[in-house]
Structure 1
Amino acid sequence: MDIARHIDHSILKPEITERDLEEQIEKCIELKVYAVCVHPYWVRKAVQLAGKDLVVCAVISFPFGMETKEQKICQCLESLERGAKELDIVMNFSALRSGQR
């Protein structure tokens, strides 16, 4: 079994540079991982770099999920328009713990 094809690699540090993104995506392609997860800001660039070798996943409302539903929807739509094939949407843990939906 090719375990690498089941791995999502996250590139989510706030201080990441474009060069860091390029290097990490090159490494992911080399290792043949399934997907790379990035903030919505980096989706378009990640799609360009990944080509057909990787799936690009946008991480929505990371890390705390504190945006409103409407803000999350906007991030989702924009990420899909920029080429993301998957979305990881962070739940608002504060609302959940408060018993809110």
Structure 2
Amino acid sequence: MNGNQLASYIDHTLLKADATEQNIIQLCTEAKQYHFATVCIHPCWVKLAAEQLQDERDVGITTVIGFPLGANASSIKALEAQQAVADGATEVDMVLNVGYLKSRFLSAVKSDIEAVVNASGTSAIVKVILETSLLTNEEIVIACQLAVEAGAQYVKTSTGFSSGGATTEHIALMRHTVGERVGVKASGGIRDYDTTVAMIKAGASRIGASAGITIVNKAESAASDY
């Protein structure tokens, strides 16, 4: 897989608390240069990213909802998603309510996802962050099923702010559960080319990474070796 192909999988991510306006502008410049799938940023920067990317149809804008714990009220998550889409977000990555899932409040988990799906309308893709490092395999399967039933277009491994990130085992389990009609995003701890390729081979259709440039450059270097 060459660099351009790999870049199309990557959400070029900057979710540090101390990210500045100039950092976001630089992120958008890099996304345009490398043709990443989206930039992934906090909601407060969505309007700025929309301005920076207004003439770039190939790069979308991902933002995060209920981040990073997922414990906000569903009504707040819905309002956050609605505002983000109004500001220009094309994809929203919402954090599932992990405590509800572990308490087996399954109807509440599904309703929480549905609230964000409905608030996002037809103009934005919804990805559900499961925080797989906190879940059993059974809970991962249940969460994936609820996300699909609630109308989400993707399931995603991690926020990158918890006890662990993506693993190929979890990606394979998520892919097996949702089938081919729903996307699977690997995120959390993906910093190099080999790990990225392993995630894609395991079933990931999107990669969340802050090391996207390093990964793509390595792909170009590997391709030139043949």
**TM-score, with structure 1 as normaliser:** 0.91
Question: How far apart, in 2, do the equivalents of 1:16 and 1:92 lie?
Answer: 26
1:17-67 Cα distance to aligned partner (Å, 9 max, x none): 101111121112111111011111111111111222410012111111111
| Counterpart AA for 2:22 | R
Structure 1 residue 97, shift from structure 2 partner: 1.4
User: 1:81 and 2:63 equivalent?
Assistant: no
How much identity, in percent, do the aligned residues show?
A: 31
User: 1:50 and 2:53 equivalent?
Assistant: yes
Q: Which runs of 4+ in 1 moved over 4 A?
A: none
Structure 1 residue 6, shift from structure 2 partner: 1.5
Structure 1 unaligned residues grouped into runs of 5+: none
Q: Secondary structure at the match of 1:36?
A: strand
1:72-92 Cα distance to aligned partner (Å, 9 max, x none): 000010001111111111111
More relative contact order, 1 or 2 (CA 8 Å, 6+ apart): 1
**TM-score, with structure 2 as normaliser:** 0.43
Of 97, 102, 116 in structure 2, the residue corresponding to residue 97 of structure 1 is: 102
User: 1:5 and 2:8 equivalent?
Assistant: yes
Of 28, 35, 44 in structure 2, the residue corresponding to residue 32 of structure 1 is: 35
**RMSD of aligned C-alpha atoms?**
1.3
Question: How far apart, in 1, do the equivalents of 2:39 and 2:23 lie?
Answer: 13
Structure 2 unaligned residues grouped into runs of 5+: 109-226
Aligned pairs, how many?
Answer: 101
| Counterpart AA for 2:64 | V
Structure 1 residue 98, shift from structure 2 partner: 1.8
Q: Secondary structure at the match of 1:12?
A: coil
Flag the structure with larger Rg.
2
